[in-house]
Structure 1
Amino acid sequence: MSVCRPARCLFLRTTSTTLPKPTPPNRNFSTSTPRTARRRRPHYPSIKASDLKILNEAASVQFPTYNPTESSLAAKKYTPAQLAAIKAAETVIDPRDLYTQGQDRSDPWLLPYESDLRNMDPVKDHAPKKSIEDIKGRKEFRRTNRVERDEAIARVTTENMAKFYPDGVPTGEKTSEQHQLWEEAIVASMTQAALDPRTTYWSKDPKVVEALADPEHSALLPDLPRIENRMAKMTRRLSTEEEEDPRQKRLLLYMNWDKQQLKGVRVKTLVVHGVTNQTRMGKIRSMYYLTIAGNGDGLLGVGEGKSVEPEEGRKQSVMAAIRNMRPVPRYENRTTFGDLEKKVGATVVRLYSRPPGFGLRVQHLIFELARAAGLQDLSARTPRSRNKMNVIKATWEALCNQKLPDEISRARGKKLVDVRRVYYGGSVH
């Protein structure tokens, strides 16, 4: 037995305490500045004292405090508990933040125009229809004869010309341009008078005739004249009699859609490969297709198709993807509600919600799914297997089966309020 090894071990034990330990080399593998030396940008921009004073004045003007009269009116409408909740919310929310960050609503329930809803807009609001009982007297009318029609056309044409020239018809010599406008106004007035129902019917009670042209009474006036000729009828017949795919026809009946809605769906085939089926007759080769479909506004579907004919398999996958479209919940119509994780087979997909302006920093398959669903800010990781079919299916299941904060709060018996959406209108500045 050799004595060198025990002696060497003893020598190493005695020298280990005296010799310094070698330090690992500290090399920077990136040219970016270390995080400790970086200067972090503030979340909110710095505001000067002068600008702050202007903001305070504007906020006090736009969001004034309640006076005693308004407080008494609010007390008649709300309970004491509701008034206490309103005052508590107003003390927490700074009026300056409302002025700087407040914006118009962007949810699906916003009004189509800005109004306090006190007055009826003659253009955007539909006039309420009145019944026949609102006209007093006898409701009898008949078609006009030639003389009555000419008189009515002259009267209605004069009324229409008064709309073109509210300050009166210009007298004296007219230029060529003024004369052309004059002729166009006459033609337009006479055409509108010929289509007016007041020139077609006559009654002893003038209110009955006026009701025919009143939008609150008449159902004929909003209709426009239609072109009924042989060419238009042939065009309509040819467009309706064009050859239609029976599979697409069944899909439209199943979805209760029309062709225009079907054209707005974005479809893309992501996976294509050949498969072989071993039978007693030999190997039968066919093509497999996996397609996604989405309208870019919260609907997403995944479909599969397989056929010996490539075009037939692709159509099967497209129709299946449209038929399988499901709603995708989106926070502020741009990202997911929190972080998501889904496992399909050996593939794990993790999706992370991101702030506005982050973009879609994901792999190409998840990018196509997010774009078809209408997501704009998202990041993702696939730490395990990256099988294309499993990645697509896992992402689809994760996006469609999100747990919404409202459902979680309702299950816990809590009340959830999104402050940024309720008080700041979804503003992120």
Structure 2
Amino acid sequence: MSVCRPIRCLLNPSLPKPPSTPKRTFHASASKAARRRRPHYPSIKAADLKLLNQTAEEKYPKYDTSETTLLSKRYTPAQIAAIKAAESAIDTKDLVTQAQRRSDPWLLPYEDDMSLMDPVTDHAPKLTAKDLPYNHGFREANEVEQTYAISKIATENMAKLYPNGTPEGEMNEQEARRYEEALEIAMTQAALDPRAIYHSKKNEVVNALADPRFSTILPDLPRLENRMAKQTRRIAAQEEEDPRQKRLLQYMDWTKDDVKKIRVKTLVVHGVTNQTRMGKIRSMYYLTIAGNMDGLLGVGEGKSVEPDEGRKQSTMAAIRNMRPIPRYEGRTTYGNLEQKVGATKVQLFSRPPGFGLRTQHLIFEMARAAGLQDLAARTPRSRNKMNVIKATWEALCNQKLPDEIARARGKKLVDVRKVYYGGSIY
């Protein structure tokens, strides 16, 4: 098929296009091109525009002189100018036609006309000594003045908590606990009150210090007391307890903090496939090591269709399978070790202090998790990752200690370094 076009198509673009071949439709509704296009916004007639302007002016009026004076008491001139500029940028007619009332739990309890202070969104600015009526009319209180001020302020706070007077006579357990909490709150507020820290002979200065904006801390933000917020806080505060971890803690008689101190690392991850009569079922296999870096080391395996579930299985199995690893002077193995698993052979060699861990990455991670510091290793034959890890773990766990060899031979073993050098390894 030729793609050439005559030159008149380029020089005369006003020529009519050839009619397209009609396509057969297989549904009853009209095609998209034949449908009537609807506008995004409803059209407003000229007669309704006057009513719309009148509604917008009544619902969102401009600031008058009294409101501007009220705003000047709460906000600075720069903030008032910013408020007016922001409101002038929004057309009140758009608020009537397009605005939508919020119904979510974080709905503000008032229309944001900037004339009210809300503790959630508006924080009072901090005041300094320059805002006092007398800049040089106060000083730091001594111990006697501070004790007197704290007792006085605490009495005022208790009077606010118990306007009818403190309860007298015997109190039940609940009332006594409530009274102790109220007393503790009153004493804490009195200790943080600036009137207890500073002293002045002029009552105006002391009364000015009673302003909470002089306090060292602002009041905490109020919490939403609806059902959804309570449920959210409960879920955030309480971790979802895994039944597998719960059984592990009961089995090992540990706490959650002890489990968090364990060093865990997944070294082998690959997919496996199980052929069944229903077809191939693919799952993930994980091989994880765990150790406390102080003589304990474990290896665990896990397999599951869900990746997180298989990783968690291997982690719990590694922690549960931890065994003690004998370490000479807390840094290396007792002599040279050799272990064979399948076609893999692992050779471990003890080394002097300062030698470090000169091994491949798999044995390096296992030695670090077990707390070994000086070690060399070789894998002369197959280097299958799973077999290397298992052979290293068996070699470290099945070490032959010199004391056991000497006791089997009926000999007595003496460590010269411990006897003559006090166990010093450097």
TM-score range for the pair, normalised by the shorter chain length: 0.3 to 0.5
TM-score relative to the length of structure 2: 0.46
Greater Rg, structure 1 or structure 2?
A: 2
Q: Larger RCO: Structure 1 or Structure 2 (Cα < 8 Å, ≥ 6 residues apart)?
A: 1
